[in-house]
């Protein structure tokens, strides 16, 4: 819901900017930077929810032809690999928060500090890691102990 709200705000801001630019020859100052930080919030506030409800795009022409156990093993391998990659990504992103605060890293036009949005990205990635860990456990239960879903 938070991500959707920020997408709506981005659309309204862009519409107002384009309207102001063409009708009044006066665009909204800093629109692109504001939209960039709104996009960070929209993506990272939604990514874990999307994974939880299986809203991501999957190309499974080959894997869905496997027997159920083969599908589960393949899904576990993919989820473990994704979890490892995203854990490293969360760690590196968290490290960048300290750097952004120490160096006062900001946008160039309207001077927006970056550290709050780096925190949002770390929280979003961490929540996605939790969803993936849950999926791995459920897939192991399905594979070795029967059907958990």
Q: Are 53 and 11 in contact (CB under 8 A)?
A: no
At 89-112, the pLDDT tens digits run: 999 999 999 999 999 999 988 999
Sequence spans of domains, the chain: 2-145
pLDDT (tens digit per residue) in 112-141: 999 999 999 999 999 999 999 999 999 888
The model's pTM: 0.84
Residue 119, SS3?
helix
């Amino acid at each position: 819901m938070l991500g959707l709200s920020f997408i709506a705000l981005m659309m309204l801001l862009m519409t107002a900017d384009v309207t102001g630019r063409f009708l009044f020859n006066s665009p909204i100052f800093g629109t692109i930077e504001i939209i960039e930080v709104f996009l960070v919030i929209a993506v990272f506030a939604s990514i874990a929810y999307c994974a939880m409800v299986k809203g991501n795009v999957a190309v499974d022409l080959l894997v869905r032809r496997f027997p159920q156990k083969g599908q589960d093993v393949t899904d576990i391998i993919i989820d473990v690999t994704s979890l490892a990659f995203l854990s490293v990504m969360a760690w590196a992103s968290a490290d960048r928060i300290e750097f952004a605060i120490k160096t006062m890293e900001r946008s160039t036009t309207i001077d927006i500090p970056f550290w709050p949005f780096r925190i949002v990205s770390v929280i979003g990635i961490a929540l996605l890691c939790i969803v993936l860990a849950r999926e791995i456990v459920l897939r192991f239960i399905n594979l070795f102990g029967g059907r958990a879903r």
